[in-house]
Structure 1
Amino acid sequence: MTKRYLITGGAGFIGCNYVHRLLSRGERVTVYDNLSRRGTEANVAWLREQHGADSFRLVVGDVRDYDALAEATQDADVVVHLAGQTAVTTSVADPRSDFEHNALGTFNALEAARHAGTNPVFLYASTNKVYGGMEEVAVIEQETRYAYRDFPLGIPETQPLDLLSPYGCSKGAGDQYARDYARIYGLPTVVFRQSCIYGPRQMGVEDQGWVAWFIIAAVTGQPITIYGDGKQVRDVLFIDDLLDVYDAGLAHIDVAAGQVYNVGGGPAHTMSVWAEFGPMLERLMGRPISVSYGDWRPGDQRIYVSDIRKAERELGWRPRVDIEEGMRRLYEWVVANQNLFVQGGAFER
Structure 2
Amino acid sequence: MSRVLITGGAGFIGSNLADRLAGQGHEIVVLDTLARRGVEGNLKWLLLRHGAQVRHLTADVRQAEAVETAVAQADVVFHLAAQVAVTTSLVDPRTDFDVNLIGTLNVLEAARRRCTPVVFASTNKVYGDLGDIELAVQNEAWLPTEPALRTRGVDERRPLDFHTPYGCSKGAADQYVLDYARSYDVPTCVLRMSCIYGSRQMGTEDQGWVAHFLIRALEGAPITLYGDGRQVRDILDVSDAVDAYVAAWERIEAVSGRAFNLGGGPENAVSLRGLIAHIDRLIGRAAELQFEDWRAGDQRYFVADASAAHRALGLGAVKPWRPGVSDLADWLRAERRLDARIGSAAA
TM over 0.5: yes
More helix by share: 2
Whole-Å separation in 1 of the counterparts to 2:112 and 2:29: 17
What letter corresponds to residue 324 of structure 1 in structure 2?
R
| Structure 1 segment 236-255 matched on structure 2, within 5 A | 236-255=235-254
Task: Please state how far the C-alpha of 1:338 moved relative to its aligned partner.
Answer: 0.8
The aligned counterpart of 1:295 is 293
| Structure 1 segment 212-227 matched on structure 2, within 5 A | 212-227=211-226
Deviation per residue, 1:116-142 (Å, 9 max, x gap): x3x221100000000001222222221
The aligned counterpart of 1:127 is 123
**Secondary structure class of the residue paired with 1:268:** helix
RMSD of aligned residue pairs (Cα, Å) = 1.2
TM-score w.r.t. length of structure 1? 0.94
| Structure 1 segment 276-287 matched on structure 2, within 5 A | 276-287=274-285
Pairing partner for 1:71 from 50, 69, 72: 69
Asked whether the 8 Å contact 2:26–2:53 carries over to 1, the reply is no
Asked whether the 8 Å contact 1:265–1:319 carries over to 2, the reply is no
| Structure 1 segment 3-152 matched on structure 2, within 5 A | 3-52=2-51, 54-115=52-113, 117=114, 119-150=115-146, 151-152=149-150
Q: Does 1:180 align with 2:169?
A: no
Whole-Å separation in 1 of the counterparts to 2:5 and 2:253: 20
**Secondary structure class of the residue paired with 2:267:** coil
Deviation per residue, 1:221-275 (Å, 9 max, x gap): 333101111110000000000001112212222321110000000111110012x
Unmatched segments (≥5 aa) in structure 1: 341-349
The aligned counterpart of 1:329 is 327
**Secondary structure class of the residue paired with 1:192:** strand
Whole-Å separation in 2 of the counterparts to 1:86 and 1:317: 26
Whole-Å separation in 2 of the counterparts to 1:21 and 1:214: 26
Task: Please state how far the C-alpha of 1:180 moved relative to its aligned partner.
Answer: 0.1
Whole-Å separation in 2 of the counterparts to 1:237 and 1:72: 30
% identical aligned pairs? 48
Whole-Å separation in 2 of the counterparts to 1:314 and 1:13: 25
The aligned counterpart of 2:209 is 210
What letter corresponds to residue 141 of structure 2 in structure 1?
R
Asked whether the 8 Å contact 1:220–1:338 carries over to 2, the reply is no
**Secondary structure class of the residue paired with 2:265:** coil
Deviation per residue, 1:82-128 (Å, 9 max, x gap): 0010011111111111101101111111111112x3x2211000000
Aligned residues: 335
Whole-Å separation in 1 of the counterparts to 2:107 and 2:190: 14
Task: Please state how far the C-alpha of 1:168 moved relative to its aligned partner.
Answer: 0.2
**Secondary structure class of the residue paired with 1:337:** helix
Whole-Å separation in 2 of the counterparts to 1:252 and 1:48: 28
Deviation per residue, 1:296-349 (Å, 9 max, x gap): 111110000001111122222144210111101100000001159xxxxxxxxx
What letter corresponds to residue 30 of structure 1 in structure 2?
V
What letter corresponds to residue 176 of structure 2 in structure 1?
Y
Task: Please state how far the C-alpha of 1:192 moved relative to its aligned partner.
Answer: 0.3
Whole-Å separation in 1 of the counterparts to 2:63 and 2:221: 37
Asked whether the 8 Å contact 1:234–1:305 carries over to 2, the reply is yes
The aligned counterpart of 1:343 is none
Task: Please state how far the C-alpha of 1:8 moved relative to its aligned partner.
Answer: 0.0
Whole-Å separation in 1 of the counterparts to 2:48 and 2:54: 12
**Secondary structure class of the residue paired with 1:193:** strand
What letter corresponds to residue 202 of structure 2 in structure 1?
M
The aligned counterpart of 1:344 is none
Asked whether the 8 Å contact 2:197–2:235 carries over to 1, the reply is yes
The aligned counterpart of 2:302 is 304
